[in-house]
Amino acid sequence: MENDAMLTTSPSTLENKPTGLKLFFTRLVQQRMLVLMSIPFVIWLIIFKYVPIWGWTIAFQDYQPGLKFSEQKWVGFKHFKILFTDETFSEQFLRAVRNTLAMSGINLILGFVTAITLALLLNEVKKMAFKRVVQTVSYLPHFISWVVAAGIIQTTLAPDGIINELLKWIGVIDKGQEYLFLGKAEWFWGIFGASSVWKDIGWNAIVYLAAISSIDPAQYEAAEMDGAGRLRRMWSITLPGIKPVIIVLLIMNIGYLMESGFEPQYLLGNGMNVDYSENIDIFVLKYGLQQFNFPLATAAGMFKTVVSFILLFAANNVAKRMGQDRLF
């Protein structure tokens, strides 16, 4: 397939006469070092990542672990139908899809904005000691597992928790009116977003900090001489300097929109907020894995992949059209 692509694109870009295929091989020989440096890993990739994809056939079977491939019972699209058209399931599943997209969307935007902001701010800190302390401290929550973090969040948001106490102290609410934060279904996405930011802001900022550190300092000096203020420099040097990384990460993460995580929703979810907290992964756990229903889980996984690809290619195309760096 890739060879075809080469065939169609090469004539326009190259002035050398040899025809497509021959040219391709000539260049391949010329670039043997690059081939040697990459193809072994492509073979690795095929073994470890592509071979297991035969597992997708499970979605079309009433799969029984332990039976041979030839002994499995094929059922066509049965499991997909359950997800999308079964009267009792589809509503719940589609709601799970909605929640997944909403939560990962919120997470994507909040996560990007806050992590980039943090990186930019840290870059402006001149005291190295302070900078390092902030960097390290903001990185800490990443190492607190969601179980522990959820416990802290639940305690903090409880009616007698610190947030309600704070609200009472500043007079927003009176005693007896405490909010049951995790009981308000429509607040769940927000709570999830804030929790995720809190947990991963420092971690997510690392890659931008690394990107910033490779910006040529000469650029700053030149800008300073032109009288650009710090905000100006931040805006027209630092940000463009890390733009390629931002865009590439953005495209990759748009492809991940179907993955909104599992643990935070599972741990913070309850009967009162289930309409907003139950995502695809929780649905799959309940009706797939816990029922030993591997086909249903696989079908849901395939659906996620398809959506991911659509999102990924769309995002990549948009970036291409806008003349930005892109993923591929």
Partner 1 sequence: MANLASVSKPRKFSSRNSSLGDKIFDISIYAILTILMIVTLYPFINTLAVSFNTATDSMKGGIHLLPRQFSLENYKFVFADNSVYNATMISVLRSVIGTIVTVFASAMVAYTISRPEYVLRKFVTIAFIITMYINGGLIPNFLLIRDLGLLDSFWVYILPGVIGVFNLIIIRSFIEQLPDSILESARIDGAGDFRTFINIVLPLCLPVLATVALFSTVSQWNSWFDVFLYNSSNEHLSTLQYELQKILQNSNTTSSAESGFANSSADSNKVSPLSIRATMTIVASVPMIIIYPFLQKYFVKGMTVGGVKG
Partner 2 sequence: MAKKLLVAGMAAVMAMSVAACGSDKNDDNNSSTTEKATTPSTESASTTDGASATETPKDKVTFSMFLGVSGEKDVNTNETTIGKVLEDQTGVNFKLEHLVGDLNTKIGTMIAGDKYPDVMVPDAAIEEVMKANAFIPLDDLIEQYGPNIKRVYGPYFERMKSDYGGHIYFLPYSAQVGEVTSDPNINQGAFWVQRRVLKEAGYPVIKTMDQYTKLIEDFVAKHPDEDLTGTLTLTNDWRFFATSNVPMHLDGFPNDGNVEVNIDTLDAKTYAGSDSEKRWLQTLNTLNAKGLFDKSSFVDNYDQYIAKLSSKKVVGFFDYGWQIGTATAALKDAARKDPSQDDYVYYPLAVTWDGTKDQYQDPPGWTSNRGIGITKSAKDPARIIQYWDNMLKEENQVLINWGIKGETYEVNDQGRFYRTQEQIDKIDQTFKEKYGFVTYDWDFPQYNSTSTFADGNARSVGFQPEVFEMSLTEGDKTILGKYGIKTYSDIFDKPEDRPWFPAWSIPKEQGSAQQLWETKKDDLLKKYYAKLALAKPEDFEGIWADYKKEFDKLDTAGYEKWYKEQLQKLVAIAKAK
Q: Which 168-197 positions form the footprint of partner 1 (CB under 8 A)?
A: none
Tell which one of 180, 306, 310, 318 touches partner 2 (CB under 8 A): 180
Residue of 106, 104, 96 lying closest to 300 (CA atoms): 96
**Of 322, 140, 142, nearest to 243 (Cα)?**
322
Which of 109, 113, 314, 322 contacts partner 1 by CB under 8 A?
113
323 makes contact with partner 1 (CB under 8 A): no
> 3-class secondary structure for 107-167?
HHHHHHHHHHHHHHHHHHCCCHHHHHHHHHHHHHHHHCCHHHHHHHHHHHHCCCCHHHHHH
What phi and psi values does residue 160 have, to the nearest 5 degrees? -100, 15
Residues 68-107 that bind partner 1 (CB under 8 A): none
Cβ proximity to partner 2, 101 vs 185, nearer residue: 185
Range list of H helices, 71-126: 78-84, 87-124
User: Which partner from the list partner 2, partner 1, none does 69 bind, CB cut-off 5 to 8 Å by kind?
Assistant: none
Of residues 276 and 312, the one with the C-beta less far from partner 1: 312
Residue whose C-alpha is closest to residue 97's, from 309, 308, 324, 263 = 308
Q: With CB under 8 A as the contact rule, which of the stretches 80-88, 168-176, 244-252, 273-281 interacts with partner 1?
A: 244-252
Tell me, what DSSP letter sits at residue 238? Answer: I
Q: With CB cut-offs between 5 and 8 Å by kind, which of partner 2, partner 1, none does residue 118 bind?
A: partner 1
Residues 23-62 touching partner 2, rule: CB under 8 A, are none
Selected binder of partner 2 within 20, 159, 190, 261 (CB under 8 A): 159
Identify the DSSP state of 73. P
Residue 212 burial (CB count, 10 A): 20
Rounded to an integer, what distance in angstroms lies between the CA atom of residue 245 and that of residue 213?
Answer: 13
Q: Which of residues 84-103 bind partner 2 (CB under 8 A)?
A: 87-88, 92
Show contacts with partner 2 in window 131-150 (CB under 8 A): 150
List % helix, strand, coil for the chain (3-state, nearest 5): 75, 0, 25
The torsion angle over the Cα atoms of residues 136, 139, 140 and 143, rounded to 10 degrees, is -140
Choose the contact partner of 149 out of partner 2, partner 1, none; CB within 5 to 8 A by kind: partner 1
Which helix H or strand E contains 168, and what residues bound it? helix 162-169
Quick one: 27 or 286, whose CB is closer to partner 2?
286
Position among 12, 15, 33, 170 found at the interface with partner 1 (CB under 8 A): 33
Whole-number minimum distance, CB 307 to partner 2, in Å? 24
Give the residues lining the site for partner 2 (CB under 8 A): 64-66, 87-88, 92, 150-151, 154-155, 158-159, 180, 182-183, 267, 270-272, 274-275, 286-287, 289-294
